[in-house]
A and B are shown apart, each in its own frame.
Chain A
Amino acid sequence: MREGVFLVALALTVCLVQISPAGSAVPMAYKPDLMLVAVIWASLRTRLEIGMAFAFGGGMLMDMFSGSPAGLFVVIYCITFVVCAALNTTLSLDQPSVRMIAASMAAMASGAVILVTTWFSGPIDGGFLILFRMTGKSIITGIACLIAFPVLDRAMGAFSRVIGASQ
């Protein structure tokens, strides 16, 4: 329950950071997907049911605050959560370099899905530039993952100390 409260607060905070112009220290096209990073973090740190709920809620928020069709980010984040949680049982994702690669790959995959769905509404002109931007955005998301994980860990630790353990 308390873990859930933390994740709700986290989802709202990430959403606010993402939509505020202050969050765009990098150009909009290369803006890191911080909610994706939070979902990956949740996949390594929280229980499945709570983490999935977080991925679902976070996806809903992103759908609301981006131009994507409703439900797209819900699907992307839920799949990301499941894949990361599954991979974590075989590969240790909880190492900085692996986390960075995982976040970059997830961002690349989500970008590809969004590109395909956008393609359905009409051919997209852009070619190599779109691929370049997707790659750049994915790398930046991976770098953001490196910074965000320790921050989130500390925030969760502080929250646990103040509110109490989740068990």
Chain B
Amino acid sequence: MAKARTTKPVKKEAPAKKTSSTNQTDMKTSEIRDLIDFIAHSGLNEVNVETKELKLYIKREPDQKILKSAAPVAAAPVVATAPATVIAAPAAAAAPKTEVAVAAGKKTADIKSPMIGTFYRSSNPETPPFISVGDKVTKGQTVCIIEAMKLFNEIESEVSGTVVKVMVENAQPVEYDQVLFVVEPD
């Protein structure tokens, strides 16, 4: 399970102020594209970028790259939402396998346990987890199994969105109403 990872925070200055807001957006788009290109060629596995307006977290899996951006750090709401809307397109263009989740100014939803039992992230030990951080989840999709007294319960997501957090370790006991996953709704 333990993967060797290099984490290196990249300091980045906030872009110079432009008179036109369009220019500002364009510049951010190209900056982000450049940044992704840079990381793609850098050999780094995890990169954190923080500017005044946005916070970017980029993580590379063995054969894919998951890219997500967390909520902005106490930035003015108007500025905060601007970069968020422009991230998706250039990211997809620069790296087709990259998944993007944008959290700026958005609320999250919890997927909770409807019962007491043991939490399993996959249908059996040999198969990959139903969902992982960065994955898209659709309403009605199975997200985990909770077992109690040899009854195996597939739990369905009641929201569509992107998984931002897995709250419970595999094979751990869970209580009624305990939060299992945090999802950012579409």
Do A and B interact with each other, yes or no?
no
